[in-house]
Structure 1
Amino acid sequence: MATATENLREVINRARFVLFDFDGPICRLFAGHAAEDVAKDLVEWLERQGLRGLLTEEERFHPDPMVVLHAVNRRHPHSDLVAELEARLTQQELKAVPSAMPTAFADPLIRTWSAVGARLAIATNNSARTAASYLESRGLAECFVPNIYGRTQELHHLKPHPHCLNRALNALGAAPSTALMIGDAPSDFEAAQRAGVPFLGYARNESKEKQLRKAGAQAVVGSLEPVLRELRGQA
């Protein structure tokens, strides 16, 4: 236990720039507007366009809307169809913002990290508009703006590609070794690895922790509370 605490302390102490994934470490975006319903909406829209055959049976019933978007992009990359589908997903994400559930301790952690002088950014596969809208609703926007980097229509740049992390690092003028990425998925960990950024995993349940550990993440917390406690100990 002491070793885990020491590892966490070291990770936090080194961080001068903190890159947050959005959906997970900051909130559960689809807590009140189910992701399954969003995926279903995208599939039904494709079917209304006469494009049911673009998706496999598994893709048609997958609960993750990003699976639908990626599937269409693989078959019609850089197309108007992908652009329209991405725009529909963004609209659904924005509709989810009012019912999103804040991650426990995320708000005070963000405010405290900002107050002690760290510079913060968002690096997410969600729309930057969605992240900005949520942060504004929580009074957190000033901790991040303008450094919010999210999904574009260049879907090959989504994590695990390090594109949004590299954009954040460049904008902040940060050396990768002085930054920290906080994410809840193996794709976050891989993107951090590829960008050369230290990583702290947030796992809200045992399944998430197993996925992160299997991917190779060494520092993983089940709550942001010990991160906040450690940070407040520095202040």
Structure 2
Amino acid sequence: MHALVGSAKSVLLDFDGPVCDLFHSRRPGGIAARLRCAYDMDGSLPPDDDPQTVLAAAFENPALVADGTALRIEQALTREEMTAAEGAYPTGYADRLIRTLHATGRGLAVTTNNSREAVERYLAARDLLKPFEGHVHGRLYDGDGLRMKPDPDCLLRALASTGVAAQDSVMIGDAPRDLAAARAAGVAFVGYAPHGKRKERELREAGAAHIVSSLREVLLAVDPCAHV
């Protein structure tokens, strides 16, 4: 893992998890419930606590896509995420890792299923937006469908925007969908599993070879002399 990260010319970061706890002050279950209450007129959306699952289900429903409901749900979730970004809690060592990667000349990008607007609001508030300018790649509706991981779309856009080849890049993510997207894009992967055994087990079962419980390990791979 140290060689993998240390030699990378570009690092692609998932957002909610490796960069911050986006929903620290606004729990996702409440957001999912509000989306269903506002837009689920016929009970077709799943009773799931993950708002992205609700969103994905809306875009898989041809009737909700055709009448614009799916897109309205996406816009409502973006507003929820932007509000959540104001109370998001930074992941340990994330700020320092970002600044160290930028200072050592590595390309940086965010590759996330969250909205670009929410990511940029959080990064700007922590004075971290400059290293990512032009390289924040969130979910995208392109007219043919909603692009979210495990679809590699956001990673492919990140590779194009940074100008770094897939084989010279590494992604840090905390879910099997991140690993699947990285594989599809040809990008090496480091799993982030800070909360006990469940996340680590899920990543291992998905085939992740490199997993860290703290970004401190990644920071030391980039700067072995860091005082942490």
Instruction: After TM superposition, give the deviation of residue 78 of structure 1 in Å.
Output: 4.0
Q: CA deviation at 1:232?
A: 1.6
Segment drifting more, 78-87 vs 25-34:
78-87
> Structure 1 vs Structure 2: percent identity of aligned residues?
40
Instruction: Call closer, same or farther: CA 1:52–1:204 in 2, change over 3 Å.
Output: farther
User: Does structure 1 residue 96 correspond to structure 2 residue 81?
Assistant: no
* 1:20-169 pair list within 5 angstroms: 20-47=13-40, 51-55=41-45, 59-60=46-47, 62-76=48-62, 78-79=65-66, 80-154=68-142, 155-169=145-159
Structure 1: distance between partners of 2:115 and 2:54: 16
Segments of 5+ residues of structure 1 without an aligned counterpart are: 1-7
- Of residues 191, 202, 218, the one that matches 1:211 is 202
The alignment of Structure 1 onto Structure 2 pairs a total of residues equal to 221
- Say if 1:82 and 1:153, in contact at 8 Å, map to a contact too: no
**Aligned AA for 2:111?**
A
SS at match of 1:54: coil
How many angstroms apart in 2 are the aligned matches of 1:230 and 1:173?
A: 23
Q: Deviations over 1:145-195 (max 9, x none)?
A: 111010122454210011110011011111100001110000000000000
Question: Which protein is richer in helix relative to its size?
Answer: 1
Say which SS state the counterpart of residue 205 (structure 2) adopts: helix
CA contact (8 A) 2:134 2:161 kept: no
Partner secondary structure for residue 133 of structure 2: coil
Runs of 4+ in 1 over 4 A off after TM superposition: none
Q: Secondary structure at the match of 1:201?
A: strand
Aligned-residue CA RMSD (Å): 1.4
Gaps of 5+ in 2: none
Residue in structure 1 matched with residue 217 of structure 2 by the alignment = 226
